[in-house]
């Protein structure tokens, strides 16, 4: 039994190493190149569009894409939790983010807006890729928790149905025989 466990753990370690050190950097590079393409598109818009709001939004998107290109490796679950906690506790940073989001909302350039949406999709994909091994490791735990939750929910529903006395008592007391028969018999026939 210990030998099997050893080989299972060895296989998991090998799979983890291959994914984290060989496949994941290549996948990140692919999405980094897509971000470079988006950044080039935004640069062209900065050159061609001269309205103030659109130019500010385009410059902000350009800077954001530069940041994203260099920080794809930071897209992890633990960093998301840390960022959420620190954003909630720091109103200064939250206010700055809200101002920049409002600037994006005022932008009416479809190329800039599409670049923002596309970059968000890319970051979501990178987030999943960066956390894929953790998701695979915790998937059995998730299945156990989901199964237990379904059993508890079914038991709760059954308990609610059994303990609800009013509906049966009211039906027996107030409805005619034919309607009560439809409620309580499986085939809906009158009582024998």
Q: Is residue 189 part of a domain?
A: no
Q: Is residue 54 part of a domain?
A: yes
Domain shared by 22 and 87, yes or no: yes
The rounded distance, in Å, linking the Cα atoms of 180 and 171 is: 6
The rounded distance, in Å, linking the Cα atoms of 100 and 106 is: 10
Residue 95 tokens, joined:
């206010």
| Of residues 110, 16, 113, the one with CA closest to residue 61 | 113
Domain shared by 57 and 112, yes or no: yes
Domain shared by 101 and 60, yes or no: yes
Query: In the chain, how many domains are there?
Result: 2
For residue 160, the SS3 value is helix
Q: Is residue 123 part of a domain?
A: yes
Q: Is residue 112 part of a domain?
A: yes
Domain shared by 109 and 162, yes or no: no
Q: Tell me which residue range forms the domain holding 172.
A: 142-184
Domain shared by 43 and 82, yes or no: yes
Domain shared by 19 and 91, yes or no: yes
Domain shared by 154 and 77, yes or no: no
The rounded distance, in Å, linking the Cα atoms of 56 and 97 is: 15
* pLDDT tens-digit profile, the chain (192 residues): 899 999 999 999 999 999 999 999 999 999 999 999 999 999 998 888 777 778 888 999 999 999 999 999 999 999 999 999 999 999 999 999 899 888 888 888 899 999 999 999 999 999 999 999 999 999 999 999 999 999 999 999 888 877 776 777 777 777 787 787 777 776 655 554
Q: Is residue 148 part of a domain?
A: yes
The rounded distance, in Å, linking the Cα atoms of 67 and 60 is: 11
Sequence-distant (≥ 6) Cβ neighbours of residue 62 within 8 angstroms? 39, 42, 43, 46
Domain shared by 71 and 163, yes or no: no
Domain shared by 108 and 37, yes or no: yes
Q: Is residue 191 part of a domain?
A: no
Ramachandran quadrant class, 109 (left: phi over 0; alpha: psi -120 to 50; beta: rest): beta
The confidence score (pLDDT) of residue 52 equals 77
The confidence score (pLDDT) of residue 165 equals 65
Residue 56 buriedness (CB in 10 A; 0-12 / 13-18 / 19+): middle
Domain shared by 101 and 161, yes or no: no
3-state helix, strand, coil in the chain (%, to 5): 90, 0, 10
Q: Is residue 190 part of a domain?
A: no
Q: At what angle do helices 91-106 and 110-130 cross, to 10 degrees?
A: 130
Q: Is residue 83 part of a domain?
A: yes
- Whole-model pTM: value is 0.74
Domain shared by 124 and 171, yes or no: no
CB–CB of 68/35 below 8 Å? yes
Domain shared by 116 and 154, yes or no: no
């Amino acid at each position: 039994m210990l030998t099997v466990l050893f080989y299972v753990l060895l296989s998991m370690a090998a799979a983890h190493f291959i994914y984290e050190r060989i496949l994941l950097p290549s996948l990140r590079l692919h999405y980094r190149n897509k971000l470079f393409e988006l950044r080039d598109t935004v640069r062209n818009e900065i050159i061609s569009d001269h309205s103030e709001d659109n130019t500010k939004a385009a410059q902000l998107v350009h800077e954001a894409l530069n940041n994203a290109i260099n920080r794809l490796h930071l897209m992890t679950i633990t960093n998301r939790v840390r960022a959420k906690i620190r954003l909630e506790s720091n109103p200064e940073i939250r206010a700055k983010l809200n101002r920049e989001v409002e600037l994006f909302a005022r932008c009416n350039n479809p190329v800039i807006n599409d670049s923002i949406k596309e970059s968000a999709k890319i970051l979501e994909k990178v987030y999943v890729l960066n956390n894929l091994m953790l998701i695979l490791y915790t998937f059995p735990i998730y299945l156990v928790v989901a199964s237990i939750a379904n059993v508890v929910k079914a038991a709760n529903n059954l308990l609610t149905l059994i303990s609800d006395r009013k509906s049966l008592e009211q039906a027996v007391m107030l409805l005619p025989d034919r309607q009560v028969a439809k409620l309580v018999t499986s085939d809906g026939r009158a009582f024998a």
